Amino acid sequence: SFELTQPPSVSVSPGQTARITCSGDALPKQYAYWYQQKPGQAPVLVIYKDTERPSGIPERFSGSSSGTTVTLTISGVQAEDEADYYCQSADSSGSYVFGSGTKVTVL
């Protein structure tokens, strides 16, 4: 299997931009997905295939990819964006992996 590495925490003031990185050797070959999880709730998909946003997800959420690192960007952060964020990928052998998660705190 493979690993995905995320920073444990990111702090941001309301209205500013939060960037969450996810690194892994498999990422140049495999797509990344991002999930938001609030306390006591199931995760919600916010980005798929590196940069695509599911319907219903606000435009302030965007994704990008460069080499072995993918980035989730939240522009104009709102208080409701405070949550844990997980990156995830899958390899061709049927193995799926989540990153360790990043706690986003809105100051």
Partner 1 sequence: EVQLVESGGGLVQPGGSLRLSCAASGFTVSSNYMSWVRQAPGKGLEWVSILFSSGAAYYADSVKGRFTISRDNSKNTLYLQMNSLRAEDTAVYYCARWYYYDSSGRGFDYWGQGTLVTVSS
Applying CB under 8 A, the residues found at the interface with partner 1 are 1, 31, 33, 35, 37, 42-45, 48-49, 52, 54, 84, 86, 88, 90, 93-101
Closest C-alpha among 26, 106, 17, 15 to residue 70:
26
CA-CA distance, 22 to 86, in Å (whole number)? 9
Q: Give me the least distance between CB of 13 and partner 1, in Å please.
A: 25
CA-CA distance, 70 to 68, in Å (whole number)? 7
Structure tokens given for 79: 């208080």
Hey, CA dihedral for 92, 98, 52, 26, is it positive or negative? negative
Closer of 15 and 54 to partner 1 (Cβ): 54
Closer of 28 and 76 to partner 1 (Cβ): 28
Structure tokens given for 46: 């916010």
Q: Give me the least distance between CB of 5 and partner 1, in Å please.
A: 12
Closer of 61 and 86 to partner 1 (Cβ): 86
Structure tokens given for 59: 């435009």
Closer of 14 and 54 to partner 1 (Cβ): 54
Q: Give me the least distance between CB of 54 and partner 1, in Å please.
A: 7
